[in-house]
Amino acid sequence: MNDVEIWSTGLRTTVNNPLKRSRRSAPIPTRSGLFCAGTSVMEQNWSEQTRMIHAGTRRSRYAETSEAIFLTQGYVYPDAETAAARFRGDVAEEGFIYSRYANPTVRMFEDRIAALEGAEDAFATASGMAAVNGALFCQLKAGDHVVSARALFGSCLYIVETLLPRFGIEVTLIDGTDTEQWRAAIRPETRLVFFEALSNPMLEVVDIAAVAGLAHAVGAQVVVDNVFATPVFQRPLELGADVVIYSATKHIDGQGRCLGGVALGSRSFIRERFEPYLKHTGGALSPFNAWVMLKGMETLAMRCEAQARSAAILADRIADHPRIARVHYPGRADHPQHEICARQMRAGGTVLSFEVKGGQAGAFRFLNALRLVLISNNLGDAKSLVTHPATTTHQRLDESVRAALGITPGLVRLSVGLEDVEDLAADILGALDRS
Q: How confident is the model at residue 395 (pLDDT cuts 50, 70, 90)?
A: confident
Question: What average pLDDT score do residues 96-111 get?
Answer: 94
Residues 255 and 304 in one domain: no
Residue 366 and residue 360: Cα distance in Å, rounded?
10
Residues 292 and 319 in one domain: no
Q: What is the pLDDT, as a whole number, of residue 404?
A: 87
- pLDDT higher at 11 or 398: 398
Q: How confident is the model at residue 396 (pLDDT cuts 50, 70, 90)?
A: confident
Residues 215 and 274 in one domain: yes
Residue 230 and residue 299: Cα distance in Å, rounded?
13
Question: What average pLDDT score do residues 178-197 get?
Answer: 98
Looking at the domain assignment, is residue 5 inside a domain? no
- Helix 359-369 / helix 421-434 crossing angle, nearest 10 deg: 130
Question: What average pLDDT score do residues 337-354 get?
Answer: 97
Residues 63 and 150 in one domain: yes
Looking at the domain assignment, is residue 2 inside a domain? no
Window from 85-99, 160-174, 374-388, 389-403 with minimum mean pLDDT: 85-99
Looking at the domain assignment, is residue 171 inside a domain? yes
Q: What is the pLDDT, as a whole number, of residue 34?
A: 37
| 6 pLDDT above the threshold of 50 | no
Q: How confident is the model at residue 107 (pLDDT cuts 50, 70, 90)?
A: very high
CB 354 within 8 A of CB 318: yes
Q: Which of residues 235, 264, 297 is at a domain's end?
A: 297
Q: What is the pLDDT, as a whole number, of residue 44?
A: 59
- What total of structural domains would you count in the chain? 2
Residues 119 and 240 in one domain: yes
Question: What average pLDDT score do residues 419-428 get?
Answer: 98
Residues 228 and 343 in one domain: no
Task: Starting at the earlier edge strand, list the strands of the sheet with 170-174.
Answer: 121-125, 261-265, 243-247, 221-225, 190-196, 145-149, 170-174
Mean residue pLDDT of the chain comes to 89
Residues 259 and 309 in one domain: no
Residues 53 and 23 in one domain: yes
Looking at the domain assignment, is residue 369 inside a domain? yes
Q: Minimal CA–CA distance to 328: which of 410, 397, 398, 391?
A: 410
Window from 83-87, 272-276, 395-399, 427-431 with minimum mean pLDDT: 395-399
Residue 216 and residue 193: Cα distance in Å, rounded?
10
Q: Which of residues 271, 297, 323 is at a domain's end?
A: 297
Question: What average pLDDT score do residues 230-234 get?
Answer: 97
Residues 315 and 276 in one domain: no
Q: What is the pLDDT, as a whole number, of residue 92?
A: 62
Q: Facing residues of 415 across strands? A: 351, 385
- pLDDT higher at 43 or 268: 268
Question: What average pLDDT score do residues 226-252 get?
Answer: 98
Q: Which of residues 279, 297, 315 is at a domain's end?
A: 297
Looking at the domain assignment, is residue 262 inside a domain? yes
Q: In this predicted model, what pLDDT tens digit does every residue of 45-63 receive, in sequence order?
A: 777 777 777 777 877 776 7
Looking at the domain assignment, is residue 99 inside a domain? yes
Residue 115 and residue 345: Cα distance in Å, rounded?
19
Give me the domain span that covers residue 123: 13-297
Q: How confident is the model at residue 67 (pLDDT cuts 50, 70, 90)?
A: confident
| 37 pLDDT above the threshold of 70 | no
Residues 81 and 186 in one domain: yes
Residues 212 and 339 in one domain: no
| 295 pLDDT above the threshold of 60 | yes
Q: How confident is the model at residue 91 (pLDDT cuts 50, 70, 90)?
A: low
Residues 252 and 316 in one domain: no
Q: What is the pLDDT, as a whole number, of residue 345?
A: 97
| 38 pLDDT above the threshold of 80 | no
Q: What is the pLDDT, as a whole number, of residue 412?
A: 98
| 273 pLDDT above the threshold of 70 | yes
Looking at the domain assignment, is residue 244 inside a domain? yes
Question: What average pLDDT score do residues 387-409 get?
Answer: 89
Question: What average pLDDT score do residues 85-98 get?
Answer: 81
Per-residue three-class SS string for the chain: CCEEEEECCCCEEEEECCCCCCCCCCCCCCCCCCCCCCCECCCCCCCHHHHHHHCCCECCCCCCCCCCCCCCCECCCCCHHHHHHHHHCCHHHCCCCECCCCCHHHHHHHHHHHHHHCCCEEEEECCHHHHHHHHHHCCCCCCCEEEEECCCCHHHHHHHHHHHHHCCCEEEEECCCCHHHHHHHCCCCEEEEEEECECCCCCCECCHHHHHHHHHCCCCEEEEECCCCHHHHCCHHHHCCCEEEEECCCCCCCCCCCCCEEEEECHHHHHHHHHHHHHHHCCECCHHHHHHHHHHHCCHHHHHHHHHHHHHHHHHHHHCCCCEEEEECCCCCCCCCHHHHHHHCCCCCCEEEEEECCHHHHHHHHHHHCCCCEECCCCCCCCCEEECHHHCCCCCCCHHHHHHHCCCCCEEEEECCCCCHHHHHHHHHHHHHHC
CATH number at residue 382: 3.90.1150.10
Q: What is the CA radius of gyration of the chain?
A: 22
| 36 pLDDT above the threshold of 60 | no
Q: What is the pLDDT, as a whole number, of residue 403?
A: 87
Question: What average pLDDT score do residues 141-161 get?
Answer: 95
CB 249 within 8 A of CB 128: yes
CATH number at residue 97: 3.40.640.10
Looking at the domain assignment, is residue 169 inside a domain? yes
